[in-house]
Chain A
């Protein structure tokens, strides 16, 4: 890349505030024509706001500074002039294509609209141009897909349609806001390759906003690292990754989860969870008249077999829709299932009545993915964590219960000193950060002293640095207490750090299983190979 060229976009002293609170404290960066710059940071670092406010797409933001696109300062343009720039010289791809596309129009209509508005094509020309654009993004049968509504396309196809729409006006700069975060792992690589190809063909510059360092390494020429509204470091990707100058960059680079688990042999440990030909099916509505009288059957898990022993972790990896979360619900006894599923020797199907179920439920607890929906917003910490005690140990006095709650909070690292944990008890979940909420969810599960924890994507909603801390906590709890984990995730790095055994799921079936080293180092099934390769 020839950096001696005048930059395409020159951002100077960009400051952004909301209602008097400054979130971006004056950042400078340049993008040369045809350059790929990655803006990296954790949630709340201001990276998305910085990029989108260049086109004034952020509501109620007070933006100051300069953003020179050629001769013109984007921040000083009138709304009318800016409308000429948006979607024309600068186009945007958003994170979630399902909400970024209008559900009431076909994707073809939405792309043709851009062609007609920005390039002044006739309807017939726009139609032809749409199909051509869709074809260039690699969507099979582009002529037919142009007539499809967003919900009729798969996630990957939707994102491709978004990219086609952004390219319709042949922009000089493409703002890509986490373009692959909503996609499955195996699609992310394809999407990046597509963006790279198109970038080279059209010679446009790309500003990639992401939190994923793997993407940066694979895609970008230069990288700019943001931390809490400050640009702490920027430079060539190879340079920054090899010799990070700023402490925060070093911390980000070191946040890949570390393996620190007791390598227990499978034979010695008593089996806590055992599944034989486990099958879970949901009723689904059938189309047409016959749907009035009976329901169809969607099989989410097709005949899974696995064993999980005390002190060990069984990783379940797969994409969205592969049935791995259904597997977790089955292990918790929350969905009816076929086949055999035993928790510490008791089959869920054999538990009749609340009392019998409760005896098993005490032994299996759960931590969910989303730290915001997994805690009731109207309960205090004491109520949330103490609820399990009131169910399973109703004989405890109020003081005893409170002491146990504080001890559980101390176990998960929320309270430093068990003697002075009381002031945490009356707080509500909204006062905690995502990582703290996830610790609360772990405390809620631990307080009833379970033998088995089902971890359903426990860290995928967290920032990488927090993810590392939470995984470290889970590893410590397993070492100290001999907990068994059923770990559901789509992240190969997490599996590599945590699991003893792995099963790989695709479309409801277990396609591969075995010890973690074997599955990750010598994958047999092509799908596993794809997953491992995408994560490397």
Chain B
């Protein structure tokens, strides 16, 4: 080799180097691990918190109430309605003699009302309801687990849709520039000045509230911030020499965008992912708090906060919901900070 600088033996891709830098930020890395554990845990919520037993052995027969409905009569009851496994009679039936039942660690679902609580609703934390119940007698721990899952899944979906739309529009504006850019920018200015909250209120009055409707409405406005960043990156990258060289090579616009400009323009997208997630969780919580969010009966952190406000004596409601929210948002913020550091090109690998 004629050039003086020797080449190092290891060949790491830029993405891999960024990951190694991310790993070096202990707080961010363990936040990611903790967040992933929480998400997986909440995805398996049915196994953790459920008012139906996972398995029942009754009179020599196997039953799986977690996936099947069984009438009360099956277990020796009087009615042909689905069994209530919290009913002391049913419980006695399925645990008597050789019968046994495997319950989830927290034997309540998100909608289960504990008719057998010893204290009036909302009841404080007890051996039966570890975090107490809300003002309708539903178990708070179950609500939090399911509410967290709804929040995270909603935030993920909103982030994915927002990122796809934002990257697409930003890429089109930045790469083609000129009139395309001008038209899109004016459109974004008009679209961005729409009163989002009032539109939400109006739409939630016109249509039946649902998670899908919320997702659509929030997505319609959620892409603009990101699209500006992607546009700026594209404007910068498209005039770099490697893009010119690719054009001189005869690549089509699509190939240039996909292979050359896009991979080098994703830094702001990745950096903002955790912050977008936390913004989405907050948005859903706020709307639920105001009663404009998910339909009634859906477990939701915002609805719990609103209950906490209405039952200020029931400190366990507001305190535990608040703790779940703060921990979730903190984990996301720590991840975001670590990501920002990891993707900062001025930081050395060392």
* Partner pick for B248 among A332, A375, A380, CB 8 A cutoff: A332
Secondary structure type dominating chain B contacts: loop
Mark each residue of chain A from 505 to 529: 1 if its CB lies under 8 Å from any CB of chain B, else 0. Answer: 0000000000000000000000000
Chain B, residues 235-264, CB within 8 Å of chain A (1/0): the string is: 000001110111111111000000110011
Contacts of B242 in A (CB 8 A): 373-376
Whether A362 contacts B250 in the complex (CB less than 8 A), given A368-B244, A377-B264, comes out as: yes
Contact assessment for A428 and B11 in the assembled complex, using a CB-CB cutoff below 8 Å: yes
Report whether B250 and A361 are in contact in the complex, using a CB–CB cutoff of 8 Å: yes
Q: What's the Cα separation between A373 and B240 when bound, in Å?
A: 6
Q: Is A334 an interface residue (CB 8 A)?
A: yes
- Cβ of A180 under 8 Å from chain B: no
Q: A432 at interface (Cβ–Cβ under 8 A)?
A: yes
Q: What residues of B have a CB within 8 angstroms of the CB of A109 in the complex?
A: none
| Residue B88, interface by CB 8 Å | no
B264: A residues at CB distance < 8 A = 376-378
Q: Report the minimal beta-carbon distance from A148 to chain B, rounded to whole angstroms.
A: 28
Contact check, A368 vs B250: say whether CB atoms are below 8 A apart: no
Docked Cα-Cα span, A391 to B242, in Å, equals 16
Which stretch from A82-90, A186-194, A433-441, A477-485 is at the chain B interface?
A433-441
Q: Cβ of B247 and Cβ of A436 under 8 Å apart? A: no
Write out the residue numbers on chain A whose beta carbons fall within 8 Å of the beta carbon of B4: 433
Q: Does A61 contact B (CB under 8 A)?
A: no
Q: Does A427 belong to the interface (CB within 8 Å)?
A: yes
Are B246 and A387 in touch, CB under 8 angstroms?
A: yes
Contact A374 B2 (CB under 8 A): no
Q: CB-nearest residue of chain B relative to A368?
A: B241
CA distance A365 to B251 in the complex (A): 13
- Indicate if A358 sits at the interface (CB-CB under 8 A): yes
Residue ID in chain A nearest B6 by CB atoms: A433
A416 to B1, CA, bound (A): 8
Interface flag for A369 (CB, 8 Å): yes
Q: Are B263 and A358 in contact (CB under 8 A)?
A: no
Number of interface residues of B (CB under 8 A): 29
Q: A374-B242, A428-B14, A466-B3 are in contact. Are A354 and B248 (CB under 8 A)?
A: no
B82 on the A face (CB < 8 A): no
Nearest residue, chain A, Cβ from B243:
A376
Given A368-B241, A377-B264, decide whether A387 and B7 contact each other with a Cβ distance below 8 A: no
CB pair B250–A354 under 8 Å, yes or no, is: yes
B245 near A378: Cβ-Cβ < 8 Å: no
- A374-B241 in contact given A427-B11, A432-B7 (Cβ < 8 Å): yes
Residue contact B241 to A391, C-beta cutoff 8 Å = no
Measured CB to CB, the closest approach of chain B to A168, in angstroms, equals 33
Residue on B nearest A454 in the bound complex, by CB: B248
Q: Are B247 and A378 in contact (CB under 8 A)?
A: no
Residues of A close to B194: CB separation below 8 A: none
Report Cα–Cα, A376/B251, bound state, in Å: 14
Instruction: List chain B residues, Cβ under 8 A from A244.
Output: none
State whether B249 touches A365 (Cβ < 8 A). yes
Tell me which of B14, B249, B263 has the highest count of chain A C-beta atoms within 10 A of its own C-beta.
B249
B15 engages A378 (CB within 8 Å): yes
Q: When A354-B250, A392-B250, A428-B12 are in contact, do A366 and B3 touch as well, CB less than 8 Å?
A: no
A469 beta carbon closer than 8 Å to chain B: yes
Alpha-carbon distance between A364 and B246 when the two chains are bound, in angstroms = 12
Q: Does B193 contact A (CB under 8 A)?
A: no
Closest to A383 in B: B259
CA distance A377 to B250 in the complex (A): 20
B3 to chain A: closest residue by CB = A435
Quick one: given A376-B264, A378-B264, are A426 and B250 in contact (CB under 8 Å)?
A: no
Residues of B within 8 A of A377 (CB): 14, 264
Given known contacts A368-B244, A433-B5, A435-B3, is B11 in contact with A387 (CB within 8 Å)? no
Asked if A160 is at the interface (CB within 8 A of a chain B CB), the reply is no
Contact between A358 and B250, CB atoms less than 8 A apart:
yes
Interface residue? B8 (CB, 8 A): yes
Across the two chains, which residue of chain A brings its CB closest to B240?
A: A373
Specify which chain A residues have a CB less than 8 angstroms from the CB of B2 in the assembled complex. Answer: 413, 435, 469
| Smallest CB gap from B7: residue in A | A431
Task: Write the chain A residue with the least CB distance to B253.
Answer: A354
Q: Is B206 an interface residue (CB 8 A)?
A: no
Confirm or deny: B61 has a beta carbon within 8 angstroms of a beta carbon on chain A.
no
Q: Which residues from 366 to 408 on chain A have a C-beta closer than 8 Å to any C-beta of chain B?
A: 366, 368-370, 373-380, 387-388, 391-392
Given A366-B248, A368-B241, A444-B245, 13 more pairs with CB closer than 8 A: A332-B244, A332-B247, A354-B252, A374-B241, A374-B245, A375-B242, A376-B242, A379-B259, A380-B11, A388-B249, A427-B11, A433-B5, A469-B3
